Chains A and B, each alone.
Chain A
Amino acid sequence: MSQDQTPPLTVASHDEVKEIHFDGEMEDRIKNILGRYSETQAALLPVLWACQERWGWISAGIMEAIAERLALSPAFVESVVTFYTMFRSRPPGRFHLQVCTTLSCRLCGAGPVIDELKRTLGIDFGETTPDGRFTLSDVKCLGVCGEGPVIQINDDYYTRLNTEELGRLLDEFK
């Protein structure tokens, strides 16, 4: 993209829009996904997942590439990415800690765990540690309310936490 053009996507306008090309492996995955639906657009969520798995987040460049591949507009792809909280339009830290702040977990003592988490990491919700290791987010019910308090670290759940457990857990990821 030439310098004087305004970046087409608002979310990632601060990030450089890097051109992304899907390689053979990605193409295969997309073809496989497309085979499951009778309409191309239905492949959008699975393809976004595939991209997030590969690149860790959905950059503006990725959105454009997907839009092109699935014959959608980049704005439409962006509208979908921003609707779903699990798609990241910013690069996250290496470990994404998502802690449940909803009722059942709070009843079982998520409050102190959250305070401790913020204190040890020195960051608040929505922030990443300066070394790029941890990103902390608050999420709503993770669907394991019987085992609260719970934290999701990348794809895994860690349940029945208390402040000591938490210390041990964070050490593992140090």
Chain B
Amino acid sequence: MMKPLLLRARGERNSRSLTTYLRFGGYGAVKKALIMDARDVIKEIKASGLRGRSGAGVPTGLKWGCVPKASGKPKYLICNADESEPGTFKDREIIRVDPHLLLEGMIIAAYAIDAHKAYIYIRGEFFHEAQMLEHAIGEAYRKKYLGKNILRTGFDLDIYVHRGAGAQICSEETALIESIEGRRGQPRLKPPFPAMAGLFGCPTIVNNVETLACLPHILENGADWFASIGTQESTGTKLFSVSGHVESPGVYEVPLGTTFREIIEDHCGGIPNGRELKAFIPGGSSAPVLTAAEIDTPACFDAVAKAGSTLGSGGLIVMDETVDMVWVLENLLEFYAHESCGQCTPCREGSAWALNILRRIRCNQGCPEDLETLCRIADFACRGMTICPLGDAFCEPIRSFLDRFGGEFRAAVTSGNPPRVVKAPILPTRRDQSMFAKPGTESC
């Protein structure tokens, strides 16, 4: 098993303190980077093949390269720590174990794109984690790793923590920017992309915590070394947050390309109570579900895409044979219906409508046409019908659940109950609470 990189300090005493970090050779990469030309830093990151760890898997170097050199405007770096996709809890682990690693990564990224102000947008619920970051930032300022004239290289950088307040949508980068600007977290139409016009209308790069935490390692050990880990198109290690039906859930760091079987069976100790695996969601709740037959898929961007899902954030949700897939889909839709920001009709109405149907099915009042309606909603509300990817995020589960576990759904709508008399689909409104009435039995 490979030695962890991002979580190397896990289990150390006082792992969060600057002293421990320096003992691991911390801030060595910054010393290296700040005397390099910024363009060479970007080149190095491009060569390493590092891809964004937040979901889309965009090459980090490529993203940075989009920042216009001479716009005359200040540039901003934002660290996205608004980890809120169900099943994902890796960024929190990095912050709890090694906040200085994140700060060092931010200094490198800021230097590369020539930003002098950076914000860490952290979800509101992570109150203690925000304090840990504040503390680490304080330490870094005192030792001159932040502030004016960092390590006497003439480079200035200020980092501020900005707390969100409970809106999952703010993990979408333009919603996040809106939120920092003091507005409702409603995503913006793209283009312009944040790299051109983001925070306060200025060029802005938004990178995920895990992405930034990779940077010091790359600078320290070289792009080739990093590229040698993982697979050809998915380099480096990746944190997987494993939850659900496994012996020991938690955050695991493995090289990309490790199979899901290894992660689930070797690292997490397999399925408890001698049960069988039924299904798993490989990349956070919005990734299409995969079945037990696909457990030998390597966990890297391309292989998972080929299997019909996405690696997303690496939030692995494992379900054993006892799980009712209709119930799971209902639960996921509850989340999306709740978190839709309300801007785009297909997402706002579609998610609530689909949820309404699922609730009906679970109350044994479904009819075969309901499945057809679900498919139509899933086909309608995605792929460019909405401003942000949240539209796709609720459609993908619907489509994949119906695809892979269609039998269960068909059984649920034809389970011998008297057929419903009125079955014309009614569009629910978000204000209409009765549409959201919960089914009588509510436990799992």
Q: Which residues does A use to contact B, with CB under 8 Å?
A: 36-39, 41-46, 48-49, 70, 72, 79-80, 83-87, 101-104, 106-112, 114-115, 139-148, 152, 155-156
Contact = CB atoms under 8 A, between A and B. Distances in A.
B443 A83 contact: no
A51 B317 CA distance: 37
Interface in B163-212: 163-168, 179-185, 200
B92 interface: yes
Given A141-B168, A155-B127, 12 more contacts: A45-B180, A84-B124, A84-B165, A84-B185, A85-B167, A102-B335, A103-B328, A106-B444, A108-B244, A108-B249, A114-B443, A140-B84
B126 A143 contact: yes
A87 B165 contact: yes
A141 B87 contact: yes
A62 to B, nearest CB: 15
Contacts of A41: 181-183
A110 B92 contact: no
A114 B125 CA distance: 20
B222 to A, nearest CB: 33
22 contacts: A38-B74, A38-B200, A39-B182, A41-B183, A44-B182, A45-B165, A46-B163, A49-B165, A83-B184, A85-B165, A86-B124, A101-B331, A102-B334, A103-B86, A104-B86, A107-B323, A108-B244, A114-B443, A140-B86, A143-B126, A146-B89, A146-B243
Contacts of A72: 182
Contacts of A109: 444
B245 interface: yes
B338 interface: yes
A70 B181 CA distance: 13
A41 B199 CA distance: 12
Contact of B442 (A44, A103, A111, A139): A111
B89 A143 contact: yes
Contacts of B168: 140-141
B182 A80 contact: yes
Contacts, number: 150
A140 B335 CA distance: 6
Contacts of A156: 128
Interface residues of B, number: 56
A49 B182 contact: no
B92 A104 contact: no
B89 A145 contact: yes
Contacts of B164: 45, 84
B251 A80 contact: no
A48 B165 contact: yes
Interface in B94-133: 123-128
A39 B178 CA distance: 12
A110 to B, nearest CB: 7
B44 interface: no
A-B pairs with lowest CB-CB distance, top 3? A111-B443, A44-B182, A86-B166
B243 A145 contact: yes
A85 B165 CA distance: 7
A42 B243 contact: no
A44 B92 CA distance: 25
A103 B285 contact: yes
A3 to B, nearest CB: 31
Most chain B CB within 10 A, of A106, A142, A146, is at A146
Interface in B124-164: 124-128, 158, 160, 162-164
B279 to A, nearest CB: 11
Contacts of A147: 249
A45 B178 CA distance: 11
Nearest to B184: A83
